[in-house]
Amino acid sequence: MALNVPKRWQRKNGLQRPLSPAQIILLVIFVFGAVAGFGIFLPDIPGLWQTVGYTCLTVMYVWDFISYVLAVSINPSSGGEQNSMWNPVKCVWDSKTHCCHVGRHESVQGINFFCKTCNKLVEHHDHHCEWLNTCIGGRNYCFFFNTIVSGLLIALQLSVMACYIISVYYTLPYSRGTDTMAEIATMLLKARGQSLPLLPGELAAIVTFAIASVSAAIYTLVFAVLGTFIIFHIRLYCIGMSTSEYIFTGRKRRMQEEENVDVEACKTELSDKDFETVKDNSQ
């Protein structure tokens, strides 16, 4: 049927309120990693590795921040008259695939998709990202991909540094006979040269161990998730499909399989003559 898109609020970019819960979680993880990495982990790493760590983490955080800001601030819809949600667009809505057919056939490089969350038609639509609170399309896809790649590298460095802190300052000392947190605290303060005395003595050792343990768990999980995303998108690039096209193709294949199953079930319940009669009547 013909669908007239209503004139109502539309999301222009991922910085508009309300922020999605996933986006807030992402920002918390981003800030927590910066505080833990620059303020706690790197001061405890000795020698040349500390300089290398500061350089790498700074470059990756700047890279990730710029990519994130561009990905969420660019409107994936051009805002032209043909697909502006402030000017109603007529299209044929497919309730099974949740896609606007007119949009799908207008694009050469990918499908144009009407996102109900953003209330707009997105050019070369890939997917709606809850973590960025916006749709990912042809206009911001490269910045989205840079965001997840830089995020993957940040998660890798933070998880490695957290595991280093746990092993060098906690696991190994206990295995060598260090029995108290006070002795470990002395080692930590000596390693960082009193450069960041956030907390005194034994309390500093306990807090550092807790933050390192939480960071190791969080950023190892983030690394695994982002790694999976990157492999998935590289695979889509190799086969020349977007995420939306991949989903639509899967839905279409499943619907065809279900229809074939229904036909086969009818064949088993009816005689050949009855089945041919039903088939002719349906046509």
Neighbours of 195 (CB within 10 A): 9
* 121 close to 100: Cβ distance less than 8 angstroms: yes
Alpha carbon distance 236, 157 (integer Å): 27
pLDDT number for residue 274: 47
pLDDT number for residue 131: 92
pLDDT number for residue 147: 95
pLDDT number for residue 156: 96
pLDDT tens for 128-173 read 899 999 999 888 899 999 999 999 999 999 999 999 888 877 766 6
- Domain-by-domain residue ranges, the chain? 2-237, 243-282
pLDDT number for residue 4: 47
Q: Measured in whole angstroms, how far is the alpha carbon of residue 203 from the centre of its chain?
A: 36
pLDDT number for residue 223: 96
Residue holding tokens 């350089």? 55
Strand-pairing partners, residue 235, are: none
Alpha carbon distance 61, 157 (integer Å): 11
pLDDT number for residue 104: 41
Q: Where is 43: in which H helix or E strand?
A: none
pLDDT number for residue 168: 76
pLDDT number for residue 172: 62
Burial 205-222 (b: 16+ CB within 10 A, else e): beebbebbeebbebbbeb
DSSP label of 51 = H
Measured in residues, the chain has a length of 283
Alpha carbon distance 133, 12 (integer Å): 10
Alpha carbon distance 85, 188 (integer Å): 58
pLDDT number for residue 103: 40
Which regions in the chain score pLDDT beneath 70? 1-9, 78-111, 171-203, 257-283
Alpha carbon distance 125, 117 (integer Å): 13
Question: What six digits make up the tokens of 23?
Answer: 């986006």
* 103 close to 91: Cβ distance less than 8 angstroms: yes
Q: Is 120 helix (H, G, I), strand (E, B) or coil?
A: strand
